[in-house]
Amino acid sequence: MERGQVSAAQVAVLSFTAVTATSLLTAPTVVSSVVKQDVWLSPLLALPIGFLIVWLIVKLNQIYPDQTLVQYSMKLLGRPLGIAVNLIYLFFIIHTTAYVLRQFTDFMKLTFLFTTPAFVVASSMILVCALIVRSGVEIVVRFPMLLLPVVLSLILMVYMPSIKDINLHNFEPVLSEGLVAPLKGAFRLMSWVPVFTFMNFYLPFVSNKRHVLWWAFGSVTIFTAIVFTTFVMVYAIIGAATPIYVYPFMVLARFISLTEFFEHLESLVMMVWVIVIIVRISFGLYSASLGLAQCLGFPSYRPLVLPISMIMVLLSYWSVSNVEFVFSPEFIIYYLIFGIGLPALLLTLSTIRQRFSKPHNGQDEQGEYNV
């Protein structure tokens, strides 16, 4: 149904942009409220888990090169159980993307558009994402690639003037409570890292599959690097007051005053965030539409995009008074089940299947290379 061709680099850029999206703004608060001054260790401790998740997905893609998770889970778990698990997985994707939309709407209403109805903000965002998704996978992956220089330069424009305010003493005492605190922080970061699993919907279209693993690891590394830099900058400048602010990155932007002319550059942050959230939502929307179309055997995913986006807007408001709970431990379990649990289960099932069906081979699709 989808005949686009993308490259591994584009998928990597898409993944790390999408995952960095929500983390950039709210992660410092969430993690530093638990960890205090060792906040810079948490991304480094979360890095291996990111590698694990990505490795699981790529390995599964090597075994089933042209299939997404929805398709090979139906194959591995049998049809009825597979469809049930897929529907729950798709609900997970739609649900989490809806909460991203909700975070974004809250941010916009709190900082910029005070009186605009939230419905307008959310629908305008989701309509742009639906436009991207309907145009095909090539547009979905080319879009972040094209805007990456813009995003990076805008982020740098917020960081560079702040360098003079860095106070490295904020990080002392280092590791006062031992490694437990950064580990807790790394656990909190798991609100964002399992989103890397959505990459499995794009891997079947990659043309140069040989380099996929390295690019995937690279994207996790870049994500970690960006989060690390953000944590360092934010905590070095704002210090122990970080957990008080809901959006510490915005506080950084507000502090900037270069020659008294470039002031109040939080609009730059807003522009960065809009672009990056569009990437994240289209990442999730495309995965959900494609997954649903493949799960139920439809020829094309395009008609499903608008209803799913409508459901996303609705879910972002259904019984959610504030989005604080998204960072709570219950939700992190929810993320981890579908982020690590499901791919790990599928990988074990497929290895078992391979072991036991070795005599009569040739039924499964085998990749020609292994990692």
Partner 1 sequence: MNLSKTHIAVVTLVAIGMLLFDWRGLTDIRTKIAYFSLYIPGFTLAILLIIYPNLPGPVQWMRPLFAPLAKLLFKS
Partner 2 sequence: MTHPKDERSMQPDTGAAPSSDAVPDNGNQSANSSSSDNHNQAQPTAQQQSSQGQSSDSNLTPAAFKPGIQMEPTPSVQEVLDHQRQLLGKPVANKLQDNIDTLRELYNDCSDIIIHEFDILNGPAAALAYIDGLSDMRLIDTHILAPLQQIGTAGSRDKDPIVKCVTISAMLEAADFQIVSDKISYGHAVLLIDGITSALVYDVINPIIRSIEEPEAETVVRGPREGFVESIRTNSTLLRRRLHTPALKMKPVFIGRYTKTAAVITFIEGIADPNLVKEMEGRLSAIDVDGMTDTSLIEEWIEDNPFSPFPQLMSTERPDVVTAHLLEGKIALIADGSPVALIAPASLMSMMQSPEDFYQRSLVATAIRWLRMLFSLITIFGPSFYVAVLSYHQEMLPTSLLLTIAVSREQIPFPALVEALLMEITFEALREAGIRLPRQVGSAVSIVGALVIGQAAISAGIVSSPMVMVVAITAVSSFLIPNYSLGIAIRFIRFPIMLCAGALGLYGIVLAALVILIHLMTLRSFGVPYLSPLSPMQTSQLKDTLIRTSSPNAITRPHLTGSFFNRVRMRTALYKARRNS
Q: Which residues bind partner 1 (CB under 8 A)?
A: 34, 95, 119, 123, 184, 187, 292-293, 296-300, 302-304, 306-308, 310-311, 314-315, 317-320, 325, 328-334
Between 127 and 166, CB nearer to partner 1: 127
Between 177 and 263, CB nearer to partner 1: 177
Task: Answer for the pair 69, 60: CB distance below 8 angstroms, yes or no.
Answer: yes
Question: What is the x/- site pattern for partner 2, positions 71-110, by CB under 8 A?
Answer: -------------------------------------x--
Query: CB of 98: closest distance to partner 1 in angstroms?
Result: 9
The DSSP line for 216-253 is HHHHHHHHHHHHHHHHHHHHHHHGGGGGG-S-HHHHHH
Between 184 and 209, CB nearer to partner 1: 184
Which of partner 2, partner 1, none is residue 132 near (CB under 5 to 8 Å by kind)?
Answer: partner 2
Between 230 and 309, CB nearer to partner 1: 309
Between 167 and 328, CB nearer to partner 1: 328
Between 41 and 278, CB nearer to partner 2: 278
Longest Cα–Cα distance of the chain, Å, equals 75
If one asks whether residue 121 binds partner 2 (CB under 8 A), the answer comes out as yes
Task: Answer for the pair 280, 140: CB distance below 8 angstroms, yes or no.
Answer: no
Q: How far is CA 198 from CA 19, 52, 201, 281, in A?
A: 10, 14, 6, 11
Between 95 and 142, CB nearer to partner 1: 95
Which of partner 2, partner 1, none is residue 135 near (CB under 5 to 8 Å by kind)?
Answer: partner 2
Among 128, 246, 344, 347, binds partner 2 (CB under 8 A): 128
Determine phi and psi for 6, rounding to 5 degrees. Answer: -125, 175
Task: Answer for the pair 35, 182: CB distance below 8 angstroms, yes or no.
Answer: yes
- How many CB atoms sit inside 10 A of residue 9's CB? 17
Determine phi and psi for 257, rounding to 5 degrees. Answer: -145, 100
Among 84, 110, 116, 354, binds partner 2 (CB under 8 A): 116
For helices 69-77 and 79-111, what crossing angle results, to 10°? 150
173 preceded by a cis bond (ω within 30 of 0)? yes
Task: Answer for the pair 106, 323: CB distance below 8 angstroms, yes or no.
Answer: yes
Which of partner 2, partner 1, none is residue 298 near (CB under 5 to 8 Å by kind)?
Answer: partner 1
- Sole window of 21-29, 134-142, 176-184, 286-294 interacting with partner 2 (rule: CB under 8 A): 134-142
- How many CB atoms sit inside 10 A of residue 80's CB? 9
Query: CB of 325: closest distance to partner 1 in angstroms?
Result: 7
Q: List binders of partner 2 among 231-290 (CB under 8 A).
A: 260-261, 263-265, 267, 270-271, 274-275, 278
- The rounded distance, in Å, linking the Cα atoms of 232 and 284 is 29
- The rounded distance, in Å, linking the Cα atoms of 147 and 141 is 11
Between 5 and 167, CB nearer to partner 2: 5
Binding site for partner 2 (CB under 8 A): 108, 112-113, 116, 120-121, 124-125, 128, 131-132, 135-136, 139, 142-143, 145-146, 260-261, 263-265, 267, 270-271, 274-275, 278
